[in-house]
Chain A
Amino acid sequence: MRPRHPRDPFWMMLPTGTLLAVFFFYPLVFAAYTSLFRWDLLTEPEYVGLSNYRVLLESGELGHAFLTTLSFSVIVVIGSMSLGLALALALNRPGKFPAFVRGAIFSAYVVSWVSVALLWLWVLDPSAGVATTAVRALGGPSIDWLGNPDYALYTLALVTIWKIAGYSMVLFTAGLQDVPRSLIEAAALDGASGLQRFLNVTWPLLRPTTAFVATTSLILSFQVFDVVRVMTQGGPVRSTTVFVYAIYEQVFMNLRVGRASAEVVVFFVLLLGLTLLQLSTWRGKPKARA
């Protein structure tokens, strides 16, 4: 389609372009620039070259934040996808009750992160929380879910899985409904068992959906902040200091704008890599569902 006037596409893009320029491109370029300074907003910035990056690398902060975020992401992506797929398989059937259960599960995804975090703080209270009491009633040990540096990250990952599993469930349900019934019936007629039908027919056809769910969950889990801020504040012993929380801490707690900006730049490069991965997956699968 050709525009009536050659300038039409440009002014139509102007509102979005302006928003992107002001709230995305300018801050990013500004962050890249300020990452070369020692600056606390109040005193004169002092040019330090790549020193902020060097300090972050040498202190191990960057590596620690990256590994923590990666561990968190791996658990969340695998956990939420498996649970989402299992729920989709169980609930992909007509009727009011399955629809109600699907709605109930998806509702967690709609609730704000802060509310979810506060709710789970109660559930996981090490003295009187429902989860703790249940484990104790079953003869298990008293677990300090959020106070033990060995468990805290996994606990946050479980909370995140609980919240976003509904999202993968809905996408997988849509993917399942796209699988032609004729193929499944043909496989059944050929004597394929339920498991064989799933492994050889349904699962290959779900691949594009899986790729989409995996990449979006990965990006979402890389951006985790709210549950950390509300439930553990990056502790105990920095065991839950994920990337975005590390940036927050640098700029708001330690008043180091330059160092936070350096982290922003590194984080941007990481997310860019993830997005490229997503795009390459998508471009290879034109029939995939968005």
Chain B
Amino acid sequence: MWFTYGGRNREILEKLVARFNASQAEHHIDAVYQGDYYEGLAKLRTAIFAKAAPTFSHVVGEVIPYLARAGVLQRLDAYPGHADFDIVPELGQEKSWIGGAKQPLVALPFNRSTPIAYFNGDLLAREGVSAPSTWDELRALAKKLTRTAAPRRFGFGCPISWWFWVALVGQAGGQVVEADGKLSLGGSAGVEALRFWQTLVREDGTMRPPPGRDYNAWEQTNQDFLAGRTAMIWTSTAFLKYLEDNAPFRVVAAPLPAQRRRAVPTGGTHWVILKDAPETQKASAWAFLRFMHEDEQAIFWATNTGYMPVTRRAIRRLEREGYYAKHPNDRVAVDQLSVAQPWPWSTELFRIDREIVQPRLEAAVLSGKNAEALMAEARLEATRRE
């Protein structure tokens, strides 16, 4: 099995693999680290081509429709017990994608997340303020928490990244792909989302765009928050335990605010089994996936990382045992699932993100280019692409 995260999450996963290997004698899983999501995906693709792929791996949601179309994923509905997992629909294939239930089952949820807001709790208490519930409140709070004198502090931080832009588009009332399948990039909501960032960065000076791209920018956002250089940030719920453990202040998590409505995308990865692997190894992979969907493991994973438990049973048990009452931050992402927006089942969306939208998000925020013109250009390019 190949996996793609380091640090704390890696340790937790390796513990679970060891637990599985010790729990029975029939199967043995070797977990091999393969770099970050993108590096892992590049290696996986190359390995599939070279017929040296692992039996199973976890991959980011946005490439699953593409891998499914390429015909390299094993159908999972052929395996026993797949219907008994009691998966949270918004986190599984069923509702992660529009029409996901109509597709053959190829993906099972593993580390699933939504973006959430994190606050320096000590600062909130000192200033006597609370988490914002609208964009206007967020803007005002960012102003209040920004300090221009040394040591400088920004009120707000967020990676300039597609995932957070999609969240803003949803909150502004739009969607990247319309119900009829037309790629609108949110229309006016897409522009509004981008303008909101421009306002915070360029007009108010209350948000610092982190240097670097992709996960480097995410890491920088975390580091700014931990070092007290940013008072509130938006990032994945995945970092909850990491931030709580490393912050020299109390970390408070809250749902993302609304503009016209509340909305968040989901993120993270799903398990996939590679079709061409030997049957005996695929059976072992399935045994491991069944093990991972048992309450014990789903809970161990979620409560040690910040990702959401992927089964409804596990969530109910945490609720029943009082875990969420004791750890309200852990609840934020789970509660936000009520406003989670599914992704389109598209084989091209990840390229539209990387090639068309992402560079324009950066151009708008960092160079101050006209958001409306940039988004019109992006829409045109996206619709006429081959």
Q: Do A and B come from one complex?
A: yes
Partner of B212, one of A51, A231, A251, A255: A231
What residues of chain A lie closer than 8 Å to B386, measured between beta carbons? 38, 51, 55
Q: How many residues of B contact A (CB 8 A)?
A: 35
CB atoms of A148 and B366 under 8 A apart? yes
Q: How far is the CA of A253 from the CA of B39 in the complex (A)?
A: 8
The minimal Cβ–Cβ distance linking B276 to chain A, given in whole angstroms, is 11
What residues of chain B lie closer than 8 Å to A148, measured between beta carbons? 366
User: Is A193's beta carbon under 8 Å from chain B?
Assistant: no
CB atoms of B72 and A42 under 8 A apart? yes
User: Is A276's beta carbon under 8 Å from chain B?
Assistant: no
Partner of A149, one of B45, B49, B152, B367: B367
Nearest chain A residue, comparing its CB with the CB of B46? A41
CB atoms of B213 and A40 under 8 A apart? no
CB atoms of A127 and B224 under 8 A apart? yes
CB atoms of B48 and A41 under 8 A apart? yes
CB atoms of A41 and B45 under 8 A apart? yes
User: Is A115's beta carbon under 8 Å from chain B?
Assistant: no
The minimal Cβ–Cβ distance linking A68 to chain B, given in whole angstroms, is 13
Interface centre among A40, A127, A144 (most CB of B within 10 A): A127
What residues of chain B lie closer than 8 Å to A146, measured between beta carbons? 211-212
Q: How many residues of A contact B (CB 8 A)?
A: 34
User: Is A200's beta carbon under 8 Å from chain B?
Assistant: no
With A42-B49, A147-B209, A234-B213 in contact, do A254 and B351 touch (Cβ < 8 Å)? yes
Chain A contact residues, majority secondary structure: loop
User: Is B203's beta carbon under 8 Å from chain A?
Assistant: no
Q: How far is the CA of A155 from the CA of B69 in the complex (A)?
A: 42
Contact with B along A208-251 (1 / 0, CB 8 A): 00000000000000000000000111111110000000000101
What residues of chain A lie closer than 8 Å to B38, measured between beta carbons? 252-253
Report A107-137 residues with CB < 8 Å from chain B CB.
126-128, 136
CB atoms of B212 and A42 under 8 A apart? no
Q: List 20 A-B contacts (CB under 8 A).
A: A38-B386, A41-B45, A42-B45, A42-B48, A42-B67, A43-B69, A126-B208, A127-B152, A127-B227, A136-B150, A144-B211, A147-B366, A231-B212, A232-B213, A235-B362, A236-B366, A237-B359, A253-B38, A253-B42, A255-B351
Known contacts A127-B152, A236-B211, A252-B42; 9 additional CB pairs below 8 A are A41-B45, A142-B152, A145-B211, A231-B212, A235-B213, A238-B362, A251-B42, A254-B354, A256-B351
* Chain A interface residues (CB < 8 Å from chain B): 38, 40-43, 51, 55, 126-128, 136, 142, 144-149, 152, 231-238, 249, 251-256
